[in-house]
Copies of this chain bind each other. A is one copy, B any other.
């Protein structure tokens, strides 16, 4: 633990701000009952809130929080050490840059912003001021991802040649700012930013190509889904699929290796189904019969040549995110979510929009 208790101001008081509040005040972002006891176990105290809208400000007061009359007032509060930006996406850049320039450390919700140009301005502001700037890529701590990452690192499937990462829902785009282009809405920025970040974190190789197509099933304002194929120099291929009109979901993760296959059914599942070869000599079988024709190639393997098992990892501990922030501020650690990683994800997303626009596969330069 750090000796000092850091004071935080939060800009934008919607769903994610509330999630951070509960995490900071109780150690549990999914804390349900209110009023609850505020113990600030992470060493951070919420000093106050600012939101440009009246309703969230009223909610903040109901939640027992102080409110600032303006963002300027928050910036001028010398007690504030850290500003958390949980606004719509297009406001992140100005909020973060002004926070850094006012001498605060800054945390941005994801997506960090809407373009690599904006992100570079934010990074420049952090370097210029010497203040810490981190991005809340919280899904690095998701249990489903951590299980896949563990299997990947242990080489349990042999050499992995394809990974499929899916986020399937059926509600369309939310009716709020997430459905508007000018606010940085759309599924690529909302979910793409997470699932791309996970794969770039896990796979230690250079990207070769990006191919993406965006969906507009329920709205023509933003992408309400997409599929993207990312290839790496070593030949590994990742298929990403995000959909908001998927009334039946395909598995969250599906990974193919030379020696086995992994499947994780749902977002948040820490358990993976893994089937692996244990005997490479016996791969022949009786044909299976379909309505017309027979197939030998697609007949199931016999049980004695493979083993099926449930592999699981532990849940991630998101408190590490804030512990790392404070330790980074105190110079004891380097930040977990590195800004060059955030920039790389942003550039992949930009390449995906370009691919969709041109209808072509984009060579990714890095």
Contact = CB atoms under 8 A, between A and B. Distances in A.
Given A175-B284, A247-B261, A316-B292, A169 B276 contact: no
Interface string A166-187: 0111111111001000000001
A250 B250 contact: yes
A123 to B, nearest CB: 24
Contacts of A213: 237
Interface residues of A, number: 85
Interface string A252-280: 00101110111100011010010111000
Nearest to A143: B291
A70 interface: no
A138 B294 CA distance: 10
A299 interface: yes
A256 B250 CA distance: 11
B243 A256 contact: yes
A34 to B, nearest CB: 16
Total copies of this chain within the assembly: 2
B316 A247 contact: no
Contacts of A256: 243, 245-246
A64 interface: no
B15 A296 contact: yes
A246 B267 contact: no
A315 interface: yes
A239 to B, nearest CB: 8
Given A161-B217, A261-B247, A172 B292 contact: no
B247 A359 contact: no
B161 A215 contact: yes
A175 B275 CA distance: 23
A283 B170 CA distance: 8
Contact of A359 (B172, B209, B257, B359): B209
B15 A171 contact: no
A108 interface: no
7 contacts: A29-B293, A161-B217, A169-B295, A245-B258, A270-B291, A291-B318, A361-B361
Interface of A: 15-16, 19, 29-30, 138-144, 146, 161, 167-175, 178, 187, 190-191, 209, 211, 213, 215, 217-218, 227, 237, 239, 243-248, 250-251, 254, 256-258, 260-263, 267-268, 270, 273, 275-277, 283-285, 287-301, 306, 315-316, 318, 321, 359-361
Given A29-B294, A169-B298, A270-B291, 4 more contacts: A15-B294, A178-B297, A209-B359, A247-B306
- List 8 tightest A-B contacts by C-beta distance, closest first: A169-B298, A247-B261, A247-B275, A292-B318, A138-B292, A268-B290, A141-B292, A248-B261
